[in-house]
Structures are given as structure tokens and as C-alpha cells.
Structure 1
Amino acid sequence: MYEVIIIGGGPAGMTAAVYAARKRMNALIITKEFGGQPMWTMDIENYMGYQFVTGPELMEKFDEQVRKFPIEIKYEEVTGLEAKADGTFTVICADGQYQAKVVIIASGKRPRRLKVPGEVEFTGRGVSYCATCDGPLFAGKAVAVIGGGNSALQAAIEVSAFAAKVYLISLHGYKADPIVIEKLNELERPVIELMGYTTKEIKGSQAVEKLVAANNATGELSELEVQGIFVEIGLEPNSEYCKGLLDFNEYREVVTDCRTRTGLPGLFAAGDVTNGPDKQIVIAAGDGAKAALVAYEYLLHKRSQS
């Protein structure tokens, strides 16, 4: 049995692992892959210690630090989490089950889907959820970016360096930081803005060829000839595996207190999967450190009582 199992390999999970290892805790990380959301981010200008760094570069530094410690890592997807009568936990994966005295949930979030006809069929064939990963594939082509927040505007800025034409489609308007909007407006080749439009359908034969969008005010449909579509409409938490075990808020985020504790003793949560008000790499990393320290304190207290 492990002292702590950390579910997730993003900034929160990796930081929790380092702090757990420094406390000489027997730790296991279970994750599908290392890096988390920063792997989709090209420009990071607000992580302390770096004037500028790309997401993959920053996560490589995190990874290097984790691997300096004797932390066991299993690359698996967690499908269930059970609390046992003796106060321990069982983490269920497709390939096995693992027991721990405490668990830190740090499984982050994933891109939200449009849920329109053609999206699933053309994922990987023109539909993408990562401009950083796939932007260069559309050099010289027409693309659409869907969304109105920071991630959407940043994606539009990024792909404008490669694409011949960039449409930026938002439901209402922009909900982005002023500095991001400013950068968008400073582009040498402006994007084509379609505000107040809803994506209705994605069309094509072997790959994406057209995007159908409706004007919210008039209902008029427009068919845009594009070869790439970047979906940037927000994220949803990877929390399905603990449904029924923990309290969620209306966004299915795990509810925690200021010390990363959930409503179940011995079960902690950190980073974007929680109900914390701000989703930032530095906050996720801080949450991970806090969760490991509070978990260590919890185990010490349990030992003193036994």
C-alpha cells in the first residue's frame, strides 16, 4: 500500500509528487501523460522565474525535477476511486487497482467539445483542440478559431503566423484579458471576426472543408471554406471517476477548502479540477505543494492516534 497516490501529471500533480517525495512519503503518480494543459500553450509570460517560456519547455523542467526523486509512475487512466471502511482508498484503472492511505486528485481539465455534427468525425482530420500542437499543419490554409476567451484569442494570434486566413467566431464577444485583446488588434494581418455567431455544423469529405455558422440575431447561415478548425470554448474537469464520492459544484469541479481538503478525510484535490476561482499554472503548482504538505500532516496525525 502506498502512503499517497497522486492522480494526474500536470503542474499540480507533479508538484505534489516532489513535495511528497521530499517528505519521504511512498508516492505513486497515475497519469495518462505528463504535462497537462500547459503542453497546449505556446506563450507563458506570467510564471515566476521566467520572463517567457513555452508550455512544453516549462513542463520539461517540472518533469526533470520529478525524476530526481524515487517516485513510482504508472501511465494509466483512472476509471474509479473508492473509499474503504478502514479509511484507505482504492484507485481503479483499466489494468489494475492500487491502494493508498491518502489520495491527491490532480487530474485537471480537458477541452470542451462543440457537440455539433461533423465534430467527432473530423477530429484529427481538421478539427483540433490544440493550436500549439497543430497550428503549423495549416500553413497557407484557411482556419477558424471558435471561442471568445483568452485561449481562443491566443490561438488566433498563434495560427495567424501560419494560416492564410483566420476566422475568429464567438457567441457573444470577447471575455479575454485586455493585454490579449491588444495583441490581437496589433496583428499585421487581422483576423476576420464573427461575433454573435453559433457554430452549427462541420462539413467535408475526407477532411474538413466547411464550417457552418449562424448569426444569433438573424438566424442567417454562413458557410466558411476552411481546412482547419480550432475549438477553444473552455474546459471541463476530469472528475467522472470520483462522482458520488465527493461534492461537486455546478461545473463538476471538486469542492475543496483552503487547505485542499475535500469532504472526505484523507482525500485531497489540487489544481484545475477543483473549484478554485482562478486557473493558472502557478496556482495549480501551489495547490499541489499545499496538498502534499497537508496530506503529510494528516498521516502524521493519524499515526499519533493509533
Structure 2
Amino acid sequence: MLDDSLKGQLQAYLQRVTQPFEIVASLDEQASSRELEELLQTIAGLSDKITVRTDGNDARKPSFSLNRVGGDQSLRFAAIPLGHEFTSLVLALLWTGGHPPKVEPELIEQIKALDGDYRFEVYMSLSCHNCPDVVQALSVMAVLNPRVQTVVIDGALFQSEVDSRQIMAVPSVYLNGEMFGAGRMDLAEIVAKLDTGSAEREAAKLDAKDAFDVLIVGGGPAASAAAVYAARKGIDTGIAVERMGGQVNDTLSIENYISVLETDGPKFSAALEAQVRHYGVEIMSQQRAVELIPATEPGGLVSVRMENGGTLKSRSVIVSTGARWRNVNVPGEQEYKNKGVAYCPHCDGPLFKGKRVAVIGGGNSGVEAAIDLAGIVEHVTLIEFADQLKADAVLVAKLGSLPNVTVRTNAQTTEITGDGNKVNGLSYKDRASGAEHTVALEGVFVQIGLVPNTEWLKGTVELSRFGEIVVDAKGQTNVPGVFAAGDCTTVPYKQIVIAAGDGAKAALSAFDYLIRTPEVPEPVKAASAAAA
């Protein structure tokens, strides 16, 4: 199951295990149980501190728990965690064996102090590149706090549970039997939802911070490049971000970033964060900006108010909030989101195995999604508004060779229908004839491009008719001291490499602004100094 190279790598990692523990497997006669037992015995053979028992009696079979000797940890995998989840397995083994997780000490203490009993069930798929963050977050919580129980469930192995709970998107997280959340969540976000007083404490921390020289809002390639370039100038740099990597986290494969032959979104995002931290940039995570307040005079401080009520101040600001998936905005889309309406074919595609789905969008992302899904589902109907597909010719040719794909061009999606619990169809209008059509199906994947995350800037910064921030050749907006970079701006061609270059340019422009603009003392600080 594991080749010699992978065994060697795993054995090297397991040398970090300092505390003995046992893996207790619950098995039956299924082939999947035999496969899991083989994996677990292989792991145990690579470390003298790990033993395997096969006398577990958990109702979910196959599954296994990681049990510290004399401990009360509750972490179970109802899965054979390979694919994207192999790293999650390795980390769980290390953490159970006493190797400290790479989590900020303050967050560790927050997890340990959670007051309550939390029983998490997280449904994932092995092909989901969004799932590992959630799986690893809930796993480390179970390792750190004995009142947290976590079960990681592969939806493909436990299809009956997926059907009964009508799970149509991964990751899906249940807490104490009730829906807790779906989609990517990081550790800080999960803990913040449980720790009700964290928002107020975090706001107070933001308010207490000194003003930055450069404050970057966003965490994708543009923001990361801006942070690195600004920090290398020796100026005080901060970055306020919802999640490092931004939209890149949802990209399965990156093969066109110069000097990097091939990588994927989560790895690329992790590399961005590592480089930003290397230069000592202060990262303020889980921060959503809701208001920008321009300086009252040239050289004064620009303020950015966050959703939690806290405010950050800076002599200059670089907005690089990126973009998000565009909604098709038809009846049924919001009602059935994560109940058949999905936006990530790589993550959620396996949940629709053997079913009928539609893809809305005939650009590269839409055609690629249809090709991907065609290998999993029974049938794909691709709906394109224009009179021809806009994807690259090679992709269109590949799509045309697939026997279980139907393409409908010049088609306007009018409604996504359902039975109240999940999707059961899609309606579209033929734009040439006006005829209405309905397609019976179980899933709809929306792939129609991106919309900039700039709503919070309306009325403050000049925006284009598409909601993009209008910038000049240097990344300057119409507000003095405020710059912008990346997919949220009018700069054409929304590509990672362009966003990164854009961020570097904005940082250099901000530095030029700072050295040419006399600093105006902050009124509060001036008053405090006078009082002293």
C-alpha cells in the first residue's frame, strides 16, 4: 500500500514520536477493513513506540482510534486516510506520540481552556484539497483537550451516513449531532466559533496596536508579495487576513508559476505564509475588513475597521482582498448550497458518484470541471450562456470525446430546483428559441468566474462597474495613501503570477509614498505625550 520511498519518509517522521501509544482498529470482513489493517500494521512496523490492536468494537467499520497509554484522548478515523489525508494521518500520529503541534501558544491555551464537551464528526473525501485543514484542526483539538472528541469520516466508505444526513459537500462538520459548518475552516476560526468571548478580546488587541507603516488587507499572492517587499524595506508591516493564501487555497493544481514546475494551492499558500513570517511581518488572522476610513490630511493615518469591532491604523494601506466564486444568482442557488449546489468539483465530485450533474460555465474552469466529473458521475450536462464554449480548444476537444457529457450552449440557467432538502433539477432557457427546458439531476457545479471582494469599500474608494478597485500604473487608488493589488483591482488577467507582481509593485509604491510624505503625529499620541 505504501511504497518503499513513502515508508522511508514515514519512518523518519515517526522517529519524532516520544510517547508510546496504540492504534485500536474496529474491523469487519470488508475488503476495506483488510486494506486498513495492512496500512496500520505497516505503520506499527516503522516505530517501536506504536502498537496495533484489532479488537475494537466501534460501530463504524473500518475505523481506528489513536490512544495514548494512560491518556484520555479521543481521536478516531473512520477512513483509510491516504490521498490528500495522508498528511493528516502522519500529523495525528506525531501529535498523539508527543510531538508538539505547530500552533501558536496563545491558541493552544485557548483550546485547552474551552469549557464544554464537544463531539465533532467531520465528513471528508480523499480527493478534497480543502478537507485536510479542517481534519487537522479538529484532530489537534482532540489531542490537546480531552473534552473534545473528533471522528474523521470518509464519505465514500460510509455512503449510508452521507445519504441519511444528505451531505452533498465536503468538508461537512457536525458538532454534538448538529450541523456546525461546511467548507474550509482553519483552527483559529473553529476555536473562535466555540469561544464566544474571543471576538471582543481580539478587537481590544487590535485597538491597542501601534500604527503600522504599511498595513496589508488580504492574504493571497498579492498580499504576501506586498508584505515581503515592504518588510524588506525595514518598515513596520502588518497583514490582516481572513485566511492566508486566499482563493489560491481552492486551486487544485498550479503549473504555470514561473520557476515552480508543479504544486497545488494549499502547498503554495503554506509557502506564502512561511515567507511572510520569515520576514517578521505581523499576521493578524481571522480578520475581515468592513470599513476603510481615509486619513483626514496627507501623511495622516488611514484606519481599517474589522468585523469584530477592532480598528487598525497605518500610514499606508494596501488592499489585496482578492475575489471569490461568482454566484449564478438564480432561484434555488442559495437554498441548495451544499445540498447539491457546489463550487469545487475536486472536493465534492466524489459525493456524486454514479449521479447526474450539471456544470454552469463554458470557460476553462467549467470545461475542466465537466471533464473531471465525467470520470466519476453518470452524466454531465454543461450549460453555457454564450453561443459557443470559451475554453481552450484542447479542452473543448477533450470534452467532445466524452460519451457521458451533453453540452448546451446559448442556454440561460433560470432556476435550480429541489425537493426542499436537496437538488433535483435545473431549468434553462434556449436563448435562440425562447424554449424552456428542465434537466433532472442531483448536483449543480457553478463555474462562472470570480467577483472581487470589495463591497466594504463602496463609497470610499473608486470602483469600476464590475466592482474592481480602480488603480493607476503604480497601484495607487484615488485615496491618498491607499494602494491596491491583485484580483480585486482593474489590472487585467487574473493570474497568480500577475497578482504577486502587482503586490510587489504596490509595496514599492507605498514605500515611495511614505518617504515623500511627511508624517502627521497621531492626535491621541500627541495628547498623551503632552500629559506625560
| Band of TM-score, shorter chain | over 0.9
Give the match's secondary structure for 2:460. coil
Write out per-residue CA displacement over residues 228-287 of structure 1, whole angstroms, 9 at most, x where no aligned residue: 111112221111111122222221111111111112221110001110111111000100
User: Which amino acid is the alignment partner of residue 445 of structure 2?
Assistant: F
Provide the C-alpha distance between the structure 2 equivalents of 1:59 and 1:182, rounded to a whole number of angstroms: 32
Match of 1:199 among 413, 419, 424: 413
Q: CA deviation at 1:305?
A: 11
Provide the C-alpha distance between the structure 2 equivalents of 1:262 and 1:166, rounded to a whole number of angstroms: 44
**Alignment of 1:76 onto 2:290:** no
Give the match's secondary structure for 2:259. coil
Residue 159 of structure 1 is matched in structure 2 by: 373
Provide the C-alpha distance between the structure 2 equivalents of 1:132 and 1:69, rounded to a whole number of angstroms: 34
Partners of 2:226 and 2:504 within 8 A in 1: yes
Partners of 2:227 and 2:281 within 8 A in 1: yes
> What is the aligned residue count?
305
Residue 171 of structure 1 is matched in structure 2 by: 385
More helix by share: 2
Residue 38 of structure 1 is matched in structure 2 by: 248
Residue 306 of structure 2 is matched in structure 1 by: 93
User: Which amino acid is the alignment partner of residue 288 of structure 2?
Assistant: E
Partners of 1:254 and 1:273 within 8 A in 2: yes
Residue 106 of structure 2 is matched in structure 1 by: none
Q: CA deviation at 1:183?
A: 4.1
Q: Indicate how the Cα distance of structure 1 residues 304 and 82 shifts in structure 2: closer, same or farther if over 3 A, else same.
A: closer
Partners of 2:322 and 2:452 within 8 A in 1: yes
Which stretch shows the higher mean deviation, 250-259 or 96-105? 250-259
Provide the C-alpha distance between the structure 1 equivalents of 2:418 and 2:452, rounded to a whole number of angstroms: 30
Write out per-residue CA displacement over residues 110-160 of structure 1, whole angstroms, 9 at most, x where no aligned residue: 122112111111011111122233223222222111012222112222222
**Alignment of 1:3 onto 2:213:** yes
Greater RCO (Cα-Cα under 8 Å, separation 6 or more): 1
List aligned pairs for 1:155-304, cutoff 5 A. Answer: 155-172=369-386, 173-185=388-400, 188-189=402-403, 191-205=405-419, 206-303=421-518
CA RMSD of aligned residues (A): 2.0
User: Which amino acid is the alignment partner of residue 214 of structure 2?
Assistant: V
Provide the C-alpha distance between the structure 2 equivalents of 1:181 and 1:76, rounded to a whole number of angstroms: 40
Unaligned runs of 5+ in 2: 1-210, 522-532
Q: Indicate how the Cα distance of structure 1 residues 61 and 181 shifts in structure 2: closer, same or farther if over 3 A, else same.
A: farther
TM-score norm. by structure 2 comes to 0.55
**Alignment of 1:19 onto 2:250:** no
Which stretch shows the higher mean deviation, 50-59 or 264-273? 50-59
Provide the C-alpha distance between the structure 1 equivalents of 2:502 and 2:375, rounded to a whole number of angstroms: 35
Provide the C-alpha distance between the structure 1 equivalents of 2:228 and 2:454, rounded to a whole number of angstroms: 23
Which stretch shows the higher mean deviation, 65-74 or 1-10? 65-74
Write out per-residue CA displacement over residues 62-81 of structure 1, whole angstroms, 9 at most, x where no aligned residue: 22222223222221111110
Provide the C-alpha distance between the structure 2 equivalents of 1:263 and 1:190, rounded to a whole number of angstroms: 51
Identity %: 42
Provide the C-alpha distance between the structure 1 equivalents of 2:517 and 2:397, rounded to a whole number of angstroms: 53
User: Which amino acid is the alignment partner of residue 114 of structure 1?
Assistant: V
Partners of 1:41 and 1:132 within 8 A in 2: no
Unaligned runs of 5+ in 1: none
Provide the C-alpha distance between the structure 2 equivalents of 1:183 and 1:56, rounded to a whole number of angstroms: 27
Partners of 1:40 and 1:133 within 8 A in 2: no
Q: Where in structure 1 do 4 or more consecutive aligned residues deviate above 6 Å?
A: none
Larger Rg: 2
Partners of 1:40 and 1:131 within 8 A in 2: no
Provide the C-alpha distance between the structure 2 equivalents of 1:72 and 1:182, rounded to a whole number of angstroms: 48
Partners of 2:378 and 2:404 within 8 A in 1: no
Give the match's secondary structure for 1:67. helix
Residue 354 of structure 2 is matched in structure 1 by: 140
Q: Indicate how the Cα distance of structure 1 residues 182 and 225 shifts in structure 2: closer, same or farther if over 3 A, else same.
A: same
Q: CA deviation at 1:9?
A: 0.9
Provide the C-alpha distance between the structure 2 equivalents of 1:176 and 1:99, rounded to a whole number of angstroms: 44
**Alignment of 1:53 onto 2:263:** yes
Provide the C-alpha distance between the structure 2 equivalents of 1:140 and 1:53, rounded to a whole number of angstroms: 30
Q: Indicate how the Cα distance of structure 1 residues 9 and 178 shifts in structure 2: closer, same or farther if over 3 A, else same.
A: same
**Alignment of 1:124 onto 2:334:** no
User: Which amino acid is the alignment partner of residue 217 of structure 2?
Assistant: I
Partners of 2:485 and 2:506 within 8 A in 1: yes
Provide the C-alpha distance between the structure 1 equivalents of 2:248 and 2:397, rounded to a whole number of angstroms: 22
TM-score norm. by structure 1 comes to 0.93
Partners of 1:119 and 1:202 within 8 A in 2: yes
Give the match's secondary structure for 1:287. helix
Residue 324 of structure 2 is matched in structure 1 by: 110
User: Which amino acid is the alignment partner of residue 272 of structure 2?
Assistant: F
Provide the C-alpha distance between the structure 1 equivalents of 2:368 and 2:410, rounded to a whole number of angstroms: 19
Provide the C-alpha distance between the structure 2 equivalents of 1:304 and 1:209, rounded to a whole number of angstroms: 61
Q: Indicate how the Cα distance of structure 1 residues 56 and 185 shifts in structure 2: closer, same or farther if over 3 A, else same.
A: farther
User: Which amino acid is the alignment partner of residue 510 of structure 2?
Assistant: A
Give the match's secondary structure for 2:278. coil
User: Which amino acid is the alignment partner of residue 273 of structure 1?
Assistant: C
Q: Indicate how the Cα distance of structure 1 residues 302 and 102 shifts in structure 2: closer, same or farther if over 3 A, else same.
A: same
Which stretch shows the higher mean deviation, 247-256 or 282-291? 247-256
